[in-house]
Amino acid sequence: MFYDKIKKQRTLLSKEARWNQMTGNGGSKMKKNEVFSKRYLITNEVLNAVTHGIGVGLSIAGLIVLLLKGAQTGSTLEIVSYSIFGASLILLYLCSTLYHSLIFTRARKLFKIFDHSSIYVLIAGSYTPLCLITIGGAKGWALFYVVWVIAILGIIYKSLWIEKFKNLSTVLYIGMGWLCMVAIKELYAGLGTNGFGLLLAGGLAFTIGAAFYSMRSVKFMHVLWHLFVMTGTGFMYFAILLYT
């Protein structure tokens, strides 16, 4: 009887460990009493999928509004820039939603690569209208090329080493996002006080959110990260929509 009880407990722990390994939650440094339950993991992933699923719908609507704005000016550069930014928003939220929806399937590794790579695309996509419309000139185009080269290298890195150097990856995301400070003078002049304030608020939302994202051993931190991503992209969207 006692032996059967011990055996059952070991089996349950083994199952929970497999679930944590499957979802990337927890980690080798976690104590046994910190291993997440199966119920929590399912709830967590449902919330992750729902939050960014909402983001998909909002991003599609946002792209339509941006295209209408570009069409009013008739500028090809603006239409293309807004299209790239809007498409990068949709891609990020769609990849994230699919990844968290399929995380308990064999497709999880592939969609994890898509999910993490889309962050590089979003950062570069957000830079595009700022570089080509707001900053402009040689400096704007130079920054545009630099961020897209970094994004491409980041995608290659994620495709080859998705499970390695996780903290370094977070640092790269943040560093790439704040690279725009090399053109702070042009951004402030082009966006004005309100537009620059929105852009700054977006950057701070991502940076603060990244701190919560790094707390992988704390429950629902990834959901909180998703909410900060939505907040950050919201600030940046309105900075671009209203002030570029």
Domain boundaries, the chain: 37-243
- Alpha-carbon distance of 33 to 24, in angstroms, equals 17
- The torsion angles phi and psi of 36, rounded to 5 degrees, stand at -75, 145
Q: What is the pLDDT of residue 160?
A: 92
The DSSP call for residue 103 is: T
Residue 89, token pair as written in the block:
């928003």
Q: What is the pLDDT of residue 36?
A: 83
Whether the model clears a pTM of 0.75, i.e. scores above it, the answer is yes
With 0-12 / 13-18 / 19 or more C-beta atoms within 10 angstroms meaning exposed / middle / buried, residue 89 is buried
Summarize pLDDT for 92-147 with one digit per residue, the tens: 999 999 999 999 999 999 999 999 999 999 999 999 999 999 999 999 999 999 99
Q: Which residues of the chain have pLDDT under 50?
A: 2-3, 5-6, 9, 11-13, 26-33
Residue 210, token pair as written in the block:
């990244």
Nearest to 123 by CA among 66, 174, 64: 174
Contact 233, 54 (CB under 8 A): no
C-beta atoms surrounding 34 within 10 Å: 13
Q: What is the pLDDT of residue 168?
A: 81
- Domain 37-243 fold: Rhopdopsin 7-helix transmembrane proteins (1.20.1070)
- Alpha-carbon distance of 238 to 195, in angstroms, equals 8
| Residue with token string 């640092």 | 171
- Alpha-carbon distance of 151 to 168, in angstroms, equals 15
> Rg for the chain (alpha carbons), in Å?
20
Q: Does an H or E element contain 187, and which?
A: helix 184-213
Residue 184, token pair as written in the block:
């702070």
